[in-house]
Structure 1
Amino acid sequence: MTSEPARALSLLKNAPVFQGAQEGDLRPLAALGRFSCLSRGEHLFREGESIEALHLVSGGSVRVYRLSRGGRRELTLHVEGPRQLIAGIAAFQSRATYPAHAQALQTPTEVLALPLATVREAVFHTPALSAAVIAYFARRQAELLGWVDRLVFSELGERLAAYLLEHAAAPHQLPTNSELAALLGTVPELVSRKLGEFYRLGLIVLERRTVRVSDPAELARLASGEGV
């Protein structure tokens, strides 16, 4: 059976946030990592709580969302799957607190927690780790700007195609239509209709809430704004 530190090291080596870092720099972090499992709907953290650990998704998916001032509406900011970091930028701020809520979308969802103080110390004093983390945050900023651009200027079909392509590497557990609608800036009925259209066109395979991309080339064409 694979030991927990070995599993943690494998996850860290394959996580985009540590891409380019040396294995030797990741081993001390892996040794302190702890895995935990969440059930669908269970919260990993809530907005305003102090950040004590850096979290990486090992399996399943996690939704990060904000509530309106009255608490009646939710806005999904992003959904993170395997090997992705959750609320990473906030963790490196002084007096770090979580800027949003995070909850599991699947049962089980497995998350690796790394002690924040240890991670910060390692990143601040290890050039290879620093370079990896800075490059990752730069990529995430570019992705965020691209997503905001699509949200404001593109049609729903483009946004949904882009979302599906982002999760095309493996079968992906979709959020509920309400959650996906919040993420795409629309309403659940339109999300359901567009998913059905993509399914009928053979662009995706849908089994319950698990989706697999079967025609990435056509989805890429739609995501670029052609023929939506």
Structure 2
Amino acid sequence: MDPEQTAVTSNALFEALDEGTWHRVHEGGRRMQVSAGTPLFAAGDPCQGLPLVLSGEIRVQMIGASGNEIVLYRIKGGEMCPLSLGCLLTNNSHQSEAVVEQDSEVLVIPAGLTEKLMNDAVCFRRALLESYGQRLQSLMLVIEEVAFRRLDERLAQRLVERQSYGRLSATHQDLAVELGSAREVVSRLLKEFERRGMVELERGLITITDLPALNRIGQVNTDGKTD
């Protein structure tokens, strides 16, 4: 088995495929090297196939009519994009956009081949549906947070989750996209956190100065990584 085949068949979607099916994937799939910052697809684009991320990380997000963005989920090495699967199954265009966050290698399986594999390979179909179900659950949590939790609670939780040893490299716009809010609103909350002694703000950098206080606001657990 060559290195390319090993990289793909090590994924749960392909691990039980026979040699003939693997060759259909290898010959029919389109392998792409995509640099960080590159859009993989945009809202309104026709769905050309099912993207499987072999390495790297891709952010999937939506932009509302107001121009605000919200991150739906991220797909990493060994994962596929479930919303793309939904587009393929319903023959619709993309309703979201995907942006490469880390240099990535992506295998795009054409629509016809995806359908063939779902019909012929039980393990492939099961893995796709399991991934789709897991992402649906995570999207329900996103909806619950946006609809029912205060923004200051969600911001505090995100700061705790993303910090490493008390520091977080992120702009106010980055956090606004994560939370589905406006940059101005997030900036105002961050300045209030700073006024209360919980964070220190610099350009592109947030230093956590009172992790327990942020935890109380966000009501989350953390491993306590601080300076």
Q: Residue in 2 aligned with 1:24?
A: 17
1:112 maps to a residue whose letter is L
Distance apart, 1:43 and its partner CA: 1.3
Query: C-alpha separation between the residues in 1 aligned to 2:132 and 2:173?
Result: 28
Q: Under a length normalisation based on structure 1, what TM-score does the superposition of the two structures give?
A: 0.64
Is 1:8–2:11 an aligned residue pair? no
Q: 1:154 to 1:109 in 2, by over 3 A?
A: same
Is 1:126–2:135 an aligned residue pair? no
Contact 2:31 2:106 in 1 (8 A): yes
Query: C-alpha separation between the residues in 2 aligned to 1:23 and 1:162?
Result: 38
Distance apart, 1:29 and its partner CA: 6.0
Q: Residue in 2 aligned with 1:80?
A: 74
Distance apart, 1:160 and its partner CA: 5.8
Q: 1:119 to 1:28 in 2, by over 3 A?
A: farther
Q: Residue in 1 aligned with 2:94?
A: 98
Contact 2:40 2:98 in 1 (8 A): yes
Contact 1:40 1:105 in 2 (8 A): yes
2:47 corresponds to which of 37, 41, 51:
51
Structure 2: tracts of 5 or more residues without a match: 201-205, 222-227
Query: C-alpha separation between the residues in 2 aligned to 1:62 and 1:159?
Result: 22
Distance apart, 1:122 and its partner CA: 0.9
Q: Quick check: which has more Rg, 1 or 2?
A: 2
Contact 2:68 2:177 in 1 (8 A): yes
The alignment of Structure 1 onto Structure 2 pairs a total of residues equal to 193
Is 1:64–2:60 an aligned residue pair? yes
1:103 counterpart SS class: strand
Distance apart, 1:149 and its partner CA: 1.0
Contact 1:55 1:112 in 2 (8 A): yes
Is 1:111–2:97 an aligned residue pair? no
Q: Residue in 2 aligned with 1:206?
A: none
Q: 1:164 to 1:43 in 2, by over 3 A?
A: farther
Is 1:223–2:220 an aligned residue pair? yes
1:150 maps to a residue whose letter is E
Query: C-alpha separation between the residues in 1 aligned to 2:175 and 2:135?
Result: 20
1:150-169 matches, cutoff 5 A: 150-155=145-150, 156-158=152-154, 161=157
Q: 1:222 to 1:160 in 2, by over 3 A?
A: same
Cα deviation, 1:89-117, whole Å, max 9, x if unaligned, reads 324323232122222223x2332222221
Distance apart, 1:124 and its partner CA: 2.6
Query: C-alpha separation between the residues in 2 aligned to 1:57 and 1:142?
Result: 20
Q: Under a length normalisation based on structure 2, what TM-score does the superposition of the two structures give?
A: 0.65
Query: C-alpha separation between the residues in 1 aligned to 2:55 and 2:141?
Result: 26
